[in-house]
Amino acid sequence: MSSPTVAILVRTKDRPRFLSRALENIAQQTFTDYTVCVINDGGDEQATRAIIEASPLGLQGSDAQGSGRVQLLTTAGGNMEAASNAGLAATTSEYVGIHDDDDLWAPEFLERTVAALEESGALMCTTRIVERYERENADGEFEVYEERIFHDGLPGMGLQFLFRTNRAVPIGILYRRSLHELVGFYDESLPVVGDWEFNMRAASVADILLVDEPLAYWSLRPDAEGSEANSVKRQADHARFDSMVRARAIREDLQAGAQPGAYLYQAHLAADLERRVIDGHDLTRDSLDILRSIESRLERIEARQQAIESRQQSIEERLRVLKHLRAPGRALRSFAQRSLNQRSQARRGAEAGSTGEKGA
C-alpha cells in the first residue's frame, strides 16, 4: 500500500473545542489523499481519543472496517517542536503540513499547495495567511470580529524578509518531507519560534514559493484566558527565544572565522536609528503639547466670543421690547395733542361768536 501524499500533523493539548473544529475543517478539504496524526502533547489522552472517534475522520483501528483516518500519538508534552518531530517519525508521506488545533484551512488549501509544489518542484510553499481574531460570545461559541492579511503586500518569503521576523506561521505552509534531509528536523531546544528558525533553514537552501491566495487562517484570541489564550507570557517567550536564535547564529558565524566588524557596525546603525526614533518621538510629544495649549486657548476665546454674542442678543431683545413700549406712548401723546387743539379751536370759535352778538 502506497503512502498518502500528505501527512497532516495536528498538535493539541486539552483544547477539545478547537481539536473538534480542526478535524471537521480537515474533513472539508477538496484534496483527500492525506493521513492525519494528532499529537496529544501531554493532555488527556482519553478525552482526545473520544473527540477523534466522534469526528468525521474517525480514529484508525477504532472500527472493524478500518475506515478511521486519524492516528493518535501521545507525547510527554511541553514542547511543540518535539511534538512535530514525533509526528514526522510516526508518519510517511511526500508532503507535510502542520495544522495546529485552533487554526483553519480554506477547503482548497491542500489542493492548491500540492499542485503548486508538484508543478514548480519547490521544496516549500506558503499561502497568504489571514489573521483571524475571535472571542467567546454569550453562548460559549467563538465568533470572528476581525480579519486581516498577515504581512499584507509581502512579495515573497525570502531570507531578507525572514531575517527581520517570521513571515509565515505553520498553518499556511506545506513542504516536502525530503527538506528534512537537507536542513534537519525541528529544533527541540526552542519551546517557541521553532517554526521561524526552521523556515530560515529552509530558505537558506531554496526559495520558498508563495501561493498568492488567502487559504489559511491563523486564529488569535487576545481576550481569552487559560489554555485557549494567546498569553502575554508566550509573547515574552517569543521575544526571548527570538533573541537567542539571532545570538546563536552570530556566534556560529564568528566561530567559523567571521570578523565582528560587520556586526558592530550594524549594531551602531541600529543604535543610531533607535536614537533618531526616540528624538522623533520627543519632538512629536513636544509638538502635541504645543498644539494642545493652542487648542485650549482657542477654546477659551471661542467661549468668550459665545458669551459676547449671547449678551449682544440679550441687548437687542431688550431694545426691541422698548421700541414696542414706546409706540403706544407716542400714539397717546398725538391723540391728546389733537384733542387739545380741537378744544382750543372750539373755544376760540365760541368766543368769536359771543363778541359778534354783543356788537349787534
Q: Do 254 and 169 form a contact (C-beta atoms < 8 A)?
A: no
Mean pLDDT on 145-162: 87
Look at 279 and 41; give whichever has higher pLDDT: 41
How far is CA 74 from its chain centroid? Answer: 33
CATH code of the domain in which 226 resides: 3.90.550.10
For residue 309, pLDDT over 50 is answered with yes
What are the grid coordinates assigned to 186, written together? Answer: 525541528
Backbone angles phi, psi at 124, to 5 degrees: -145, 145
Domain-embedded: residue 40: yes
Q: How confident is the model at residue 13 (pLDDT cuts 50, 70, 90)?
A: very high
Q: How confident is the model at residue 275 (pLDDT cuts 50, 70, 90)?
A: confident
Backbone angles phi, psi at 230, to 5 degrees: -100, 90
Q: Are strands 124-136 and 104-105 parallel, antiparallel or unpaired?
A: unpaired
Q: Are strands 34-41 and 6-12 parallel, antiparallel or unpaired?
A: parallel
Look at 172 and 339; give whichever has higher pLDDT: 172
Domain-embedded: residue 156: yes
3-state secondary structure of 47: helix
Work out how many domains the chain is built from and give that number: 1
Q: Do 104 and 216 form a contact (C-beta atoms < 8 A)?
A: yes
Domain limits at 45? 6-255
Q: How confident is the model at residue 316 (pLDDT cuts 50, 70, 90)?
A: confident
Look at 232 and 214; give whichever has higher pLDDT: 214
Mean pLDDT on 96-105: 97
* pLDDT the model gives residue 15: 94
Kindly write down the DSSP assignment for every residue of 153-183, as one continuous string: T-----HHHHTTS----GGGEEEETTHHHHH
Distance CA(118)–CA(244), nearest Å, equals 36
Domain-embedded: residue 319: no
Q: In whole numbers, what is the pLDDT of the chain averaged over residues?
A: 87
Domain-embedded: residue 317: no
Domain-embedded: residue 82: yes
pTM, two decimal places: 0.73
3-state secondary structure of 90: coil
Q: Do 200 and 231 form a contact (C-beta atoms < 8 A)?
A: no
* pLDDT the model gives residue 231: 44
* pLDDT the model gives residue 162: 87
Domain-embedded: residue 251: yes
Q: How confident is the model at residue 230 (pLDDT cuts 50, 70, 90)?
A: low
3-state secondary structure of 154: coil
Look at 193 and 266; give whichever has higher pLDDT: 193
Domain-embedded: residue 324: no
Domain-embedded: residue 338: no
Distance CA(135)–CA(86), nearest Å, equals 31
Report pLDDT digits (tens) over 107-134. 999 999 999 999 999 999 999 999 999 9
Look at 232 and 226; give whichever has higher pLDDT: 226
Angle between helix 45-54 and 16-27 (nearest 10)? 30
* pLDDT the model gives residue 208: 95
